Amino acid sequence: MSDFLNRSDLTVYVRSGNDPDFPDPPWLLVPPGSGNATLIATVPGKYLKIAGDVLSEMDAGEKATVDAAEAAAELADNRATSTANVDANEVQGFDLRALIETFNKRDNYLVNRVAELQAALDAVKASSGPADNIRAAIPAWWLATNTRTKPETVTDYKNNIAAGAGDPP
């Protein structure tokens, strides 16, 4: 009975296997107490590499590459699972994905408005001239008086958000 390591998947390690069941090309014989046995016991299989019959530990750069690939695969899997969960959560004709996208558009719209307001306030603070100069620093559409009714305003807002538009008219 011997220990064997699968050459194509270094995470597969068989202890006390029957020698004829593990032929040499796909399996590496790992004698007990050898350097290979020590590596297998102390280093995770994903950080091992093999060249011929020599088993060694990856360097830091190779380990980072393995970790980055695992993280990317996990992220892709999480996104796929989340998308599937969102798509499956349509309740009584209510599309959760569409609602999330609408809220994201609305939030982006509001964040942009806040940034514009901050820029205008910064311009007002920096202005040291007469009141007309300060007023000129504020975007004109902020000062305009809209004569729309509430339903018209709501409809316009919804249309702007649905179109991914930025500033209101």
Q: 53-81, pLDDT tens digit by residue?
A: 778 888 989 999 989 999 888 888 887 77
Residue 141 lies in a domain: yes
Helical packing angle, 96-126 and 150-162, nearest 10° = 100
158 in the same domain as 103:
yes
Q: 33-37 long-range CB contacts below 8 Å, 24 or more apart?
A: 36/5, 37/3
71 in the same domain as 34:
no
Residue 168 lies in a domain: no
Q: What is the mean pLDDT of residues 129-134?
A: 66
Report which of residues 88 and 61 the model is more confident about: 61
25 in the same domain as 52:
yes
Structure tokens at 145: 């008086």
Q: In Å, how far are 75, 76, 97 from 83, measured between CA atoms?
A: 12, 10, 9
148 in the same domain as 100:
yes
- Among all chains, which residue has been given the structure tokens 């309740």? 91
- Contact of 107 with 85, CB cutoff 8 Å: no
The span from the CA of 120 to the CA of 143, in Å, is: 12
Share of the chain above pLDDT 90, in %: 1
4, β-bridge pairs: 14, 29
Structure tokens at 96: 């959760």
Report which of residues 92 and 77 the model is more confident about: 77
Domains in the chain: how many in total?
A: 3
What was the pLDDT predicted at 34?
A: 75
What was the pLDDT predicted at 144?
A: 58
140 in the same domain as 110:
yes
Residue 169 lies in a domain: no
Question: The domain containing residue 27 runs over which residues?
Answer: 2-57
- CB-neighbour burial class of residue 55 (10 A; exposed 0-12, middle 13-18, buried 19+): buried
pLDDT at 91 over 60: no
What was the pLDDT predicted at 54?
A: 79
Residue 112 lies in a domain: yes
149 in the same domain as 101:
yes
The span from the CA of 57 to the CA of 63, in Å, is: 9
Residue 167 lies in a domain: no
Q: Average pLDDT, whole number, for the chain? A: 74
158 in the same domain as 102:
yes
